Structure 1
Amino acid sequence: MPLDDAATLVDGMLPTLRDRAAEVDRAAAFPEDNLNLLRENGLLGLLVPADYGGLGGGLADLTDLAQRLAGACLSTGMIWAMHCQQVDSLVRHAAPELKDHVLPRVARGELYLASVTTEPGKGGHLLTGGAPLRAAEGSLLLDRDAPIVTGGAQADGFLITMRSAEEAADREVSLVYADRDQLDIVPQEGWHTLGMRGTSSGGLKLSGRVPPGNVVGEPGNFRHVAMESMAPVGHLAWAACWLGTAHSALRGVLDLIRSRNRPRGLDPSSDLVRERLARVRMDLELVSAYLHRVRQEVDDHRAAGTSVGGPSTQVHLNTLKVAAAEHTFAAVHKLVQLCGLFSAYRTDAAIPLERHFRDLRSASLNYADDRLLTANGALSLLDRTARLA
């Protein structure tokens, strides 16, 4: 499939994803059928280079399609976007032999990737690790508890953070790829949540052995992979998903207000209704503009072969994540207030605002905003130019 056809293909899927979204949420069921649609149509390989059979897409394609998918089903959008985040890490940092092993399978839709970065006791510190890799008979042994793994029970492969060796410091972390059949996997805590119920992000206990060549990037230097791939692509993709959901909610409310069957309280000639719509639109315009600007900044660095690790760019990426989390949730909160009890708060309302509200409440918790704001304060002191995006 040509990359140019990807958006049209995704748009054709959206009615199906939208129809399934309520049941995915109600049953807290992983959207397996939706993932299979993405598999069958080559969309798991969006970021896989054409040389490996993929679509050869970039970050603009990722953020565009993530918005479209998440507008129909946020759980599906996030599952796909986080898979693409892992693909980018492999494309940019894996050794040639590992790329040859993994990327063609991703492009064929055979391999859905999950991320294993959470660990008991480390409190969300992405760049530290507790469980160590152990060398034995030419292999690397891993034994790992992870309290949250999005789509882990369904994944075909995993990227796992591990302390690089038993004697290594907790900041000497390696990223390791493992096929599902290289691991013993035991489900742990379930996923009983307010929103994002379809991501099935329950805990796993993983153990197994992999070849030394399955380390992604330099051993002990996961920080570089995280800085250049996992964190920037994650922030861009998450922001796009949250924006897509909130944008879908706004479009639904606008259609309702324009319809003959609108509730009496949604009078389009009312100054109050117009002012509230304007504020929702403003929230989403700001997120959309900042998303496009920061995505372009990352693309510019990649095109020039320079790092995104400078203080200014890091502040911009962290700000994008926090701003998107806050403003998209605020937008849906305002729509709930505008539409009222009957049209917004009911679980069987024509527009699923209550589901969007619950799902987007997770955004500020998905790598905590407080942690990123603290980091931005420290980075601002280092950024002598205070360069704005």
Structure 2
Amino acid sequence: MNVQEARFRDTAADQTREPFFVDRSSFPQRTAAVASVAAAEAEQVDRDARFPQTAIDTARQQRLLGIQIPLQFGGDGASVPEITEMCYTLGRACASTAMIFAMHQTKVACLVRHGTGSNWHEALMRRVATEQMLLASSTTEGQNGGNIRFSSAAVEHAGSDISLVRNATVISYGAQADGIVSIARRANDAAGSDQVLLAMTRDDYTLEKSLEWETLGMRGTCSAGFELKFNGSSAQIFPESYDKIHAQTMTPVAHLSWSSAWAGIAAASVERAQAFIRKAARGAGGQMPPGAAHFTAAKRSLAKLRAMIAANLDTYTAHEHDERALSSLDFQSQINLLKVEASELAVETVMHSMRACGLSGYRNDGDFSVGRHLRDVLSAPIMINNDRILANIATASLMSSVPASLRD
């Protein structure tokens, strides 16, 4: 991949095309700038359960919110592997910032892959790139929990106008977002699984808070519940049905991005454990403290976690433009198992880090505290509950054969 890529932007005056360049080598530096700000406010964000406004403002300044938008629409054309690296970096700094970024980029990925060719969605892409709009997600409603493939709320149609009223039990950073991407039944007479995806901007909807967000961890995501009322145009519905969007983009990009954010949290805890073990060993004349074995275990599980994410990224990028492969039972099972296994490994890693640090890790103050990391990462197995995913995979896997060899 070239360090610099030429791109063109249409001028409003004469529609001539002017070349300019994207320096892809700037991505790590731009992400590091956001991570530095996020780390500085992470403790306060957690303590006060407040949105990491300064970090997100810095992400806007660094043009990270539109970084995945294609070059022709004013973005930087960042790839999914590049997005996951950003999630990992931000996860090491502030879990809430990383998860907000991961959720936003999942919505952007849907817009990029499934909105191209639609005038309305292409205009939204340009707005995301130009205005650095923050997109939230509304996929959870009523009593359905994390069952994203079933919707209760339906789109109401009146000619070219549409409306939607949704009991959204969770909309992460909904009050702070500039737009929301939501799923719904196609129409009143549609089955719960016959869904569409629609994008809406802040002037299209109202939010009335129904549930507060007082949680153990991930407090800065501000994932309150709302009644969402939307009025807009049928052009805001994505052209493709949600089942395709879910299989090809929503699930893989979400699980890859979330897992990378969780791996970043785990890495931050291992870094603190390493600093503690080094200090303890120096103070004891080179004698390893009792928690040294747990530090080794933390390093081992972090290595497994990173390797697992990398392997799944390779699989996704190899088949990124193969709709049939992405929709296959084998790939869908693999990418869902990534979410399950990565979330469990991340928790295991942070637990080992805490035990490596002992009381210093258990404390909420001090340089070696791992409490915030543990509370944040404990959200991972229950964010779309692992038990639900495993039950669904078990049912689907009854239709697939057991491999007869190591590599086939």
Question: Normalising by structure 1, what TM-score?
Answer: 0.94
SS across alignment from 1:122: coil
CA contact (8 A) 2:277 2:291 kept: no
Deviations 1:144-193 (A, max 9, x none): 11011111001111111111111111111111111110112212211000
SS across alignment from 2:147: coil
In structure 1, what is the Cα distance between the partners aligned to 2:138 and 2:321? 29
1:280 partner letter: A
Aligned to 1:60: 81
Matches within 5 A, 1:61-140: 61-94=82-115, 95-140=117-162
1:83 partner letter: H
CA contact (8 A) 2:100 2:173 kept: yes
1:255 and 2:275 equivalent? yes
Aligned to 1:51: 72
CA contact (8 A) 1:29 1:198 kept: yes
Change (3 A) 1:4 1:385: farther
5+ residue gaps, structure 2: 1-21
SS across alignment from 1:382: coil
Aligned to 2:192: 170
In structure 2, what is the Cα distance between the partners aligned to 1:127 and 1:71? 32
C-alpha displacement at 1:382, in angstroms? 2.3
Change (3 A) 1:19 1:261: farther
C-alpha displacement at 1:303, in angstroms? 4.2
1:246 and 2:266 equivalent? yes
5+ residue gaps, structure 1: none
In structure 2, what is the Cα distance between the partners aligned to 1:130 and 1:34? 35
CA contact (8 A) 1:257 1:268 kept: no
What is the percentage of aligned positions where both structures have the same residue? 29
In structure 2, what is the Cα distance between the partners aligned to 1:63 and 1:388? 27
Matches within 5 A, 1:262-277: 269-270=287-288, 273-277=291-295
1:365 and 2:366 equivalent? no
CA contact (8 A) 2:180 2:199 kept: yes
Aligned to 1:183: 205
1:215 and 2:237 equivalent? yes
SS across alignment from 2:325: coil
Aligned to 2:179: 157
2:145 partner letter: G
Aligned to 2:244: 224
CA contact (8 A) 1:268 1:274 kept: no
In structure 2, what is the Cα distance between the partners aligned to 1:51 and 1:346? 50
In structure 2, what is the Cα distance between the partners aligned to 1:145 and 1:126? 14
In structure 2, what is the Cα distance between the partners aligned to 1:277 and 1:365? 26
Q: CA RMSD in A?
A: 2.0
Aligned to 1:347: 364
In structure 1, what is the Cα distance between the partners aligned to 2:390 and 2:280? 45
Change (3 A) 1:268 1:105: farther
1:19 and 2:40 equivalent? yes
CA contact (8 A) 1:256 1:262 kept: no
1:8 partner letter: Q
C-alpha displacement at 1:126, in angstroms? 0.5
Deviations 1:219-241 (A, max 9, x none): xx311111111111000001000
C-alpha displacement at 1:260, in angstroms? 7.0
Question: Normalising by structure 2, what TM-score?
Answer: 0.89
In structure 1, what is the Cα distance between the partners aligned to 2:244 and 2:168? 22
